Structure 1
Amino acid sequence: MSEQNSVTVTRTIDAPNEDVFEALTKVENHERIDGSGFVRSLDTGDRITAVGQVFTMNMEGDHMGGEYQTDNHVVGYDKDKLVAWKTAPAGTEPPGWQWVWDLNPVDPGHTEVTLTYDWSHVTDKELLKKVSFPLVSAEQLEESLKNLAALALEK
């Protein structure tokens, strides 16, 4: 039996591809996009425009004992098509999980968005004992896509 190491959800959003991408890459929107309830606010960061950027989020969750911060290292960027980042506790290197957002225009007014939460590169045995992956369910990821759809329609 193979071990699951990622969760992927897809939704067609009734908004132009550019509007969806603009809403997603504005990191101050991530509190509103997040369907898990962990993201509280943006600490530091600008709109995502390139691989190598880092943005820091204020978070809260029982799995980390309450309030904490994450540094999100942008590892994938293709304008209007892809954004990906690896998350790490603030001030540390990413331990192996990432978020990948793929955008595919269906037609001028609709965009298919696929969100993948992937923890396949987590190798730290102590971390794997402490954190029970997945921390975010498929339903919570679907909520994130629903929230992104609402933001894209605000434009």
Structure 2
Amino acid sequence: MTQEHIREAVVIAREEEQGQTYLCAYIVSDEAVPVPELRAHLAVQLPEYMIPSHFVELEKLPLNNNGKVDRKALPAPEREAYTEAYEAPRDALEAQLATLFAEVLVTGAIGIGDSFFERGGHSLKAVTLVSRIHQQLAV
């Protein structure tokens, strides 16, 4: 599988409010890029830790006076730009887990079908999540 419709792309390391670093990809494409498909394509070629946590589609990459990508002008990813349809927790346990996921990911409502990693999670956040589940749910 190729991604011929992607004209330009740049990946940068960004820092969250808690000081953790994550990768964010900025893409200029001729058509809409389905993020799950793009992640699957990258997973064949890259280890998990090198796959960006967020993907931002832009009309064009901002350039500085030297014609290079102006990294400071790249917008922060929208945390709520996740495209899956929201499916509410069905019971108290799922509601507790969704709350823990949202706290660790620093995001809004988490549905039961949402992917931790597609919502911005990575291995360090997964360890934090497991620790919180262990503390709060005693499992």
TM-score normalised to the size of structure 1? 0.26
Name the structure where helix makes up a greater proportion of residues: 2
TM-score if structure 2 supplies the norm length? 0.28
**Which of 1 and 2 has greater Rg?**
2
- Structure with greater contact order relative to length (CA < 8 Å, sep ≥ 6): 1
> Relative to total residues, which structure has the larger strand share, 1 or 2?
1
